[in-house]
Structure 1
Amino acid sequence: MSDLLVWIDCEMTGLDLGRDALIEVACVVTDGELNQLDEGVDVVIKPPPEALEQMSQVVREMHTASALLETLSTGVTLAEAEALVLDYIKGHIPEPKRAPLCGNSIATDRSFIARDMPTVDAFLHYRMIDVSSVKELARRWYPRVYFAAPEKQGGHRALADITESIRELRYYRAAVFVAQPGPDSATARELAETISATAT
């Protein structure tokens, strides 16, 4: 497994895999310390007319406010977008199945990627790092940390949302996770034994 992390965020016409379309995909690669290696790639995709017609008013207003809607007519095809994203990832991680997919509520994004960009999905490791999982645990175990988290202002554009997700994970790492280098091996083994002995 590579230490590099592949961050992806998608914008769609809705969340229904049966009828909604992918309209923007951004991808950024970071190192294990959450430092971006470059500016990433951001691709707007021209959707089929029927996907735009059935878009809900809430989603339409969201994509109008972000100015994404007005760019869709000049977007690329799904095939072109898939090639651009895959080429970007391969530029940093040449071997398949080496880097996990990261993001916020990333299972939703991965479902659309698996449907519309199967070569990208197949290239990524099956493991995922979901910032929203860390956030949910912090809400339960460290509520002060949760309520003090940086506010998100990405505005529902894919690349800005990735930047905020990376920043959010940096925050939770600093506020919740044990300071580096963490416990020594003996302490870690002792913790594991204690937890295993009390597991129900």
Structure 2
Amino acid sequence: MSDVLLWVDCEMTGLDVEKEELCEIALIPTDFSLQPLDCGRDFVIKPSERAIENMGEFVRSMHTKNGLLSLMQSARPLEEVKGEILSYASNFVSPERKGYLAGNTIGSDKKFIDKYLPELSSMLSYRSVDVSSIKELCRRWYPEAFAQKPVKHADDRSLADIIESIDELKYYKRAIFRPVGFEEARAEVEASSLLKTWQEKGVTLVDYSNVTKKD
């Protein structure tokens, strides 16, 4: 079985994982050619009353505008939804089929997944694919390609955000991941290798002077 990208996007009551809670999570599995293996699932979650009451004005306005605030208040709590989330993910990720977390600025989502859905975290590789990292490199290395990237239309709802993240990575794949030739690329990198350059200059990469030698 081929490995899977499990695209995840979360909406929260705020960004502080110590105080805020999940209010929506969506998942879409794709292969590494970015072809969807399923149309995905979206789960609206009811946070605690405390989390809703303490929601900041910016987040409250955003979730009111996109309709999520009214939906979450009549949704089921995470304890009742968790099993469905894990069951859906397990359709595509298993010990025989490694899954990699993917998304935009996925580190923020992962903090909440680690805290509220640790079972999902344990199903996935410790490695992840963050479209935001590629975006920032494209912005600086290929500004012309960056200027032509697809315009986002999503309304800060999880499933729509994921779909646009997949499309964004498809664009970068076609626009900037254009190999010049494997042998040429390897020769260029080896010729300008930072490790090789520092070694030739006699730079000490590891200082063992403070290590006590055992008899």
**So what's the TM-score if we normalise by structure 1?**
0.91
CA contact (8 A) 1:22 1:45 kept: yes
Structure 1 counterpart of 2:49: 49
Cα distance in 2, alignment partners of residues 163 and 61 from structure 1: 23
72-81 or 139-148, larger mean C-alpha shift:
72-81
1:139-158 matches, cutoff 5 A = 139-158=139-158
TM, length-normalised to structure 2: 0.85
Letter in 1 for 2:43: V
Once the two structures are TM-superposed, the CA of residue 77 in structure 1 deviates from its matched residue by 2.1
Q: What is the root-mean-square deviation of aligned Cα atoms in Å? A: 1.9
Partner SS for 1:79: helix
Contact 2:23 2:72 in 1 (8 A): yes
Number of equivalenced pairs: 197
Contact 1:97 1:126 in 2 (8 A): no
Deviates most, 4-13 or 86-95: 86-95
Please say which structure displays the higher CA radius of gyration: 2
1:163 aligns with 2:160: no
Query: For the Cα contact (< 8 Å) 1:131–1:169, is it kept in 2?
Result: yes
Deviation at 1:68, TM superposition (A): 0.6
Q: More deviation in 187-196 or 141-150? A: 187-196
User: How far apart are the structure 1 equivalents of 2:41 and 2:80?
Assistant: 13
How many angstroms apart in 2 are the aligned matches of 1:2 and 1:196?
A: 33
Work out the percentage of aligned pairs sharing the same amino acid.
43
State whether residues 23 and 46 of structure 1, in contact with CA within 8 Å, keep that contact through their aligned partners in structure 2.
yes
Deviation at 1:4, TM superposition (A): 1.4
Report matched runs for 1:99-110 at 5 Å: 99-110=99-110
Task: For residue 183 of structure 1, report the CA deviation from its aligned partner.
Answer: 2.6
Gaps of at least 5 residues in structure 2 are 199-215
> What residue ranges of structure 1 are gaps of 5+ in the alignment?
none
**Aligned in 2, Cα 1:93/1:49: closer, same or farther, shift over 3 Å?**
same
